[in-house]
Amino acid sequence: MSIQPDERLQQLTTLLNQYRYSYVSEKELQDGIANALEKEGISFKRELRVSKSDRPDFVVGDIAIEVKIKGSISDLLRQIARYAKHSEIQSILVIGTPHWITRVPASLDGKEISSLRLVGSLL
């Protein structure tokens, strides 16, 4: 029996939520996430170019991960809407600190979205 895409997204969200990240910049948070993925033996690609203008921070299988510590929800929604249009991306995980992370919709363009708001990790 294979794991369904929504289950894989939830498992990845739960797994990454178990880690504490020490960072002051988005790049440092990305490095922490990369370390967590490596520690768990999860294969990923960083900054994978899925089109000329689209490069999710990470791609784990067919899950795009986008990391945000600042910016606006409208900018993020435009960005992940572009990711959702790509056939190789089946779901999206948004990880970050802004209060609006929890307001990311559960799906976009038929692709499931999960959000993970990090609190207490910022130095």
Report the candidate in 25, 119, 29, 112 with the shortest Cα–Cα distance to residue 63.
112
50-59 in b/e form (b: 16+ CB < 10 A) is beeebbbbbb
Listed by start position, the domains of the chain span 5-117
Tokens of 120: 């207490």
64-116 confidence digits (pLDDT tens): 999 999 999 999 999 999 999 999 999 999 999 999 999 999 999 899 999 99
- pLDDT for 6 beyond 80: no
pLDDT in tens, 20-77: 999 999 999 999 999 999 999 999 999 999 888 899 999 999 999 999 999 999 999 9
